[in-house]
Amino acid sequence: MKYFILLATLLPGVVFSQISQDYSKIAIGLQQQYKDKEAVVMQSNIRYDFARDPKTGARVTVQTREKLLSLRYNASIFRTQYYDQNSEIENFAAESNLKQRAVNTAKFCGSYTHDGLFYDDSKFCTHQLKLKEVGEVWDVTCTEKINDAKYLTSIYFAEDLPVQERKVSFFIPHEISLEIREFNLEQYAITKTEKAEPDGKFVEYTVKNLPGLIHESFDRGMQFSQPHLLILPKYATASGKKVNILSSPQDLYAWYSSLTKQLHPNQQALTPTVKELIKDKKTDEEKVQAIYYWVQDNIRYIAFENGIAGFKPDEAHAVFEKRYGDCKGMANLMKEMLTVAGYDARLTWLGTRRIMYDQTIPSLAVNNHMICTLNLHGKRYFLDATEKYIPLGQNAQRILGRPVMIEDGDNFIADQIKETEKNLDADNRTIKASINGETLQGKYVVNLKGEAKKNFLFQYHYTRNEKKEEFIADFMSYGNKGVKTSNLKLPDLEERSGPLNIECDLVYTGAVSSFNNEYYIDIDPAKSFKNWKIKDTRQSDIDFGERINNKTSIELDIPQGFIVSHLPEKVEVREPEFSFSILYTLVNNKIIYTKELKVPEGIITRSAFPRWNEAIKKLEKAYENQIILKAK
């Protein structure tokens, strides 16, 4: 479950009665540095006070104070604090020093949802700060109570606004065992101090000059790029008695298991459907496949983060009747339907590849996903019904290689989803073309495998019927308006197994120009990754969400009476994280153009950005080179 902790505060005891000349000058000086920001956090402090709790082991009081400086006239920003049934806000106030009079905002509190697709019990309180003057100062304070310390997981130093200075501190009493793990701190100016106190330990982190967060496409996730702390409360002691919070992975599993034990399976509600699905199936694999695909096709995925339901699966029969559920509900339905059919199926917890932590860390931040594991004929099948159109025996890139925690009574089984061969996922395109005036025309075949096929099927089936033809045309043409396709031959788009082949006729308008008995040919209609240079200001690694393994082969007939005057040179870039190659070869009376683009893991780390940009320059220059044919 995600908790959004407001990380900004004001120096204690400071009260502002007017806009000072110094603050106006500071604001004017920062305007150019932060052109797209309305304000900056000048000074901040957030303090976490842990205390022993007889029921949960430990609770936390969070005191937040911040000082914000306005950089714009007549702008507004929101300061928001999130909470839910495991926490409460005791006070939340915002005050301005404008024109020697205090200006208090009216806070608004309500429920929080995400565009109707993500339902949870998160609450929020927010203040809209109306910034009237450049140099105006706002003081914002908040006190939050977290009733169970295990729900406090990750604490991030950065936020949307730039931060000049931020202090994050912790008071940990002697009777509480707590570990603070640090991530990405070495990349920033962050200092740490520790001080022993009579009743415990005081730890403080100070960071300066943090830029505001930039929301970027293909974002890998804040865990991999932003400085943050992972809070691991382990146990509390009182009078020699230890109360476990989360001391080990076994504790984490025991807590998960305590939630699943509260379920009340109603297999009778599922039995008629299961029997109907498997009645004509001969083998166990066919029976499992029928159940797996039924859940994929008939249960709509909707994410839930509803208090304890953010970790506890919904009842299988409830998901079955409603025809929707989150990953936990869908995994539980898979388990119960397979159990009805007589198979050994288990609930399984894991973190997708957006989670950088592994299963050795006892934290609620480790796992963000649930699937079903099937034990069949000595083999484990990891079944993720949230992935539509994926065949039995394959898994999506986002969970490949990830460690898993499989239920096994009072204990758990630790395992790992195996990586697959890199070439299993591929988008291969072949064109056999000839010149006709100013066009290339010919036969065109697209071959999709693995994740590339799954993604195509998902997009196709979730496109409105009246838009499906347009979707396929755009997919086949690479989004190039000069490419037109006809006589389309589609395979069975319900079939999950094996590759997918699409065949059609192609016309590429504007690919050929002629001058003085010469043809100038722009052979590649795709120009993949053109204009894909990465900005220096990008904060996050790039995650394409899938392996990139694309190959384009174009075979061009040389017209009678013409010979090759110029064939562009080979271009090749090979880096650990990516590779590009373009090759022209002359075979008999044909030119073979071969382009391969690969990002084997689907990720470009920030350290590789300079090498990526150099490679893109070479690729773009290669796209500008044309084949030249001249009359004999």
Q: What pLDDT digit, counting tens, does each position of 572-627 carry?
A: 999 999 999 999 999 999 999 999 999 999 999 999 999 999 999 999 999 999 99
pLDDT of 121 reads 55
pLDDT of 107 reads 65
Confidence of residue 423 (pLDDT cuts 50, 70, 90): confident
Residue 57 has pLDDT above 60, yes or no: yes
Confidence of residue 106 (pLDDT cuts 50, 70, 90): low
* Radius of gyration for the chain, computed over Cα atoms and rounded to the nearest angstrom: 29
Q: What pLDDT digit, counting tens, does each position of 230-283 carry?
A: 999 999 998 788 999 999 999 999 999 999 999 999 999 999 999 999 999 999
pLDDT of 225 reads 92
Q: Is the domain defined by 21-244 classed in CATH 2.60.40.3140?
A: yes
Handedness of CA 583, 587, 592, 596 (dihedral sign): negative
Pairwise CA distance, residues 373 & 381, whole Å? 6
Q: Please state the three-class secondary structure of 207-260 as a single string.
A: EEEECCCCCCCCECCHHHHCCEEEEEEEEEEECCEEEECCCCHHHHHHHHHHHH
Mean pLDDT of 54-67: 95
**Which residue, 265, 288, 280, is CA-closest to 372?**
288
Domain boundaries, the chain: 21-244, 250-416, 423-631
Top pLDDT among 113 and 474 is at 474
Pairwise CA distance, residues 268 & 265, whole Å? 9
pTM of the model: 0.89
Q: What pLDDT digit, counting tens, does each position of 353-378 carry?
A: 999 998 999 999 999 999 999 999 99
Phi/psi class of residue 602: alpha, beta or left (left: φ > 0; alpha: ψ in -120 to 50)? left
250-416 maps to which CATH number? 3.10.620.30
Under CATH, to which class is 423-631 assigned? mainly beta
pLDDT of 17 reads 38
Residue 516 has pLDDT above 70, yes or no: yes
Q: How would DSSP label each residue in 526-568?
A: --TTTT-PPPTT--S-EE-SS-EEEEEEEEEEPPTTEEEEE-P
Contacts with 578 (C-beta within 8 Å, 6 or more apart), sequence order: 548, 598, 599, 600, 604, 608, 612, 615
47 neighbors 170 (Cβ within 8 angstroms): yes
pLDDT of 98 reads 79
pLDDT of 99 reads 56
**Mean pLDDT across the chain, nearest whole number?**
91
Residue 3 has pLDDT above 50, yes or no: no
